[in-house]
Copies of this chain bind each other. A is one copy, B any other.
Amino acid sequence: MKVLVADDDADLRELIGFTLTQAGYLVIKAQDGPTALRSFEQESADLVLLDVNMPGLSGFQVCEAIRARSRVPVMMLTVRGEEEDLVRALGLGADDYLNKPFSPRTLLARIKALLRRAGMENTAPLAAGRVTLDLEEHTVRIGSGEPVRLTKLELRLLQMLLANAGHAISSERLLVQVWGHRSGGDRQLLKQLVHRLRQKIETDPAAPVLLRTAAAGYKLVVE
Contacts and interface: CB of A to CB of B under 8 A. Distances in A.
Interface of A: 22, 34, 37-38, 41, 56-57, 61, 65, 68-70, 80, 83, 86-87, 90, 95-97, 99, 105, 109-110, 113-114, 117, 136-138, 149, 152, 167-168, 170, 172-173, 176, 214-216
A65 B114 CA distance: 11
A22 B170 contact: yes
A117 B92 CA distance: 13
Contact of A37 (B86, B114, B172): B86
18 contacts: A34-B83, A37-B86, A38-B80, A38-B99, A56-B83, A56-B87, A57-B86, A65-B90, A65-B96, A65-B97, A68-B117, A69-B96, A69-B109, A69-B113, A70-B113, A105-B173, A105-B176, A136-B214
Contacts of A68: 95-96, 113-114, 117
A80 B34 CA distance: 11
Nearest to A41: B99
Q: Which 6 A-B pairs have the closest CB atoms?
A: A138-B215, A34-B83, A69-B113, A68-B96, A69-B110, A34-B86
A65 B87 CA distance: 11
B57 A87 contact: yes
B87 A34 contact: yes
A11 to B, nearest CB: 15
Contacts of A90: 57, 61, 65
Given A65-B90, A136-B168, 7 more contacts: A37-B86, A41-B99, A56-B83, A61-B90, A68-B117, A69-B113, A70-B113
A161 to B, nearest CB: 14
Contact of A215 (B37, B109, B137, B216): B137
Contacts of A70: 113
Nearest to A106: B41
A167 B22 CA distance: 16
Contacts of A83: 34, 56
A136 B215 contact: yes
